[in-house]
Amino acid sequence: NILIYFIISALIIYVEIMIFLRYIDKLSPEGKELYEQVVGYKKYLKTVEEPKLQQLIKDDPQYFEKVLPYAVALGMETEWIEKCEKALTKSNYHPVWIYGSGFDSSSVSSITSSISNSMEGFGSASAFSAPSSSGSSSGSGGGGFSGGGGGGGGGGSW
């Protein structure tokens, strides 16, 4: 008797799990559309050709900078930087956030290399440690903040 109840219970649970799994991975229409846009944008970043990229940078000198955060979010920053380097050099790219006359087209390689190296370390850096897998934990917390201070000024007299 117990075996029959066990088998029936297992079948009921199996059917419930199958029904649940059928609906769990479904995206809403808006979610599906957004997902397709992200996949399409990632494909664009991978396949955009150099002449098109040169024209986009010529039309909008900050195009590289505007797209870079999206490339980072999609894990394609190194690929995007390498793809843009030649077009940036040809367009005499000058970042808006660098002032002065010391920047020229040969500096593009240095900047793109620095950005790429910074991004490689970005994913591995973390301000938090992973939780312990054992049942206990110990250690110290906190950390600190240094700096600041100063203050005030003198008072006046009547």
3-class SS of residue 12: helix
Backbone dihedral angles phi then psi of residue 69, each to the nearest 5 degrees: -60, -35
Q: Which pairs from 34-42 meet CB under 8 Å and 24+ separation?
A: 38/74, 41/70, 41/74, 42/74, 42/76
Number of CB atoms found within 10 A of residue 140's CB: 5
pLDDT score of 44? 93
**Mutual orientation of helices 29-47 and 63-73 as an angle, nearest 10°?**
120
Give the residue-averaged pLDDT of 39-63: 91
pLDDT score of 121? 61
Give the residue-averaged pLDDT of 115-144: 51
Compute CA distances 63 → 11, 34, 47, 100, 121, whole Å.
57, 22, 16, 21, 24
pLDDT score of 48? 92
Q: How confident is the model at residue 21 (pLDDT cuts 50, 70, 90)?
A: confident
Running DSSP on this structure, what letter comes out for residue 74?
Answer: T
pLDDT over 70 for what percent of the chain? 59
pLDDT tens digits, one per residue of 97-127? 666 665 665 566 666 667 666 766 655 444 4
CB 81 within 8 A of CB 116: yes
3-class SS of residue 111: helix
Over 90: is that where the pLDDT of 38 sits? Answer: yes
Greater model confidence, 59 or 111 = 59
Token output for 100 = 């002065």
What is this structure's pTM? 0.53
CB 84 within 8 A of CB 53: yes
Running DSSP on this structure, what letter comes out for residue 97?
Answer: T
Token output for 125 = 């850096």
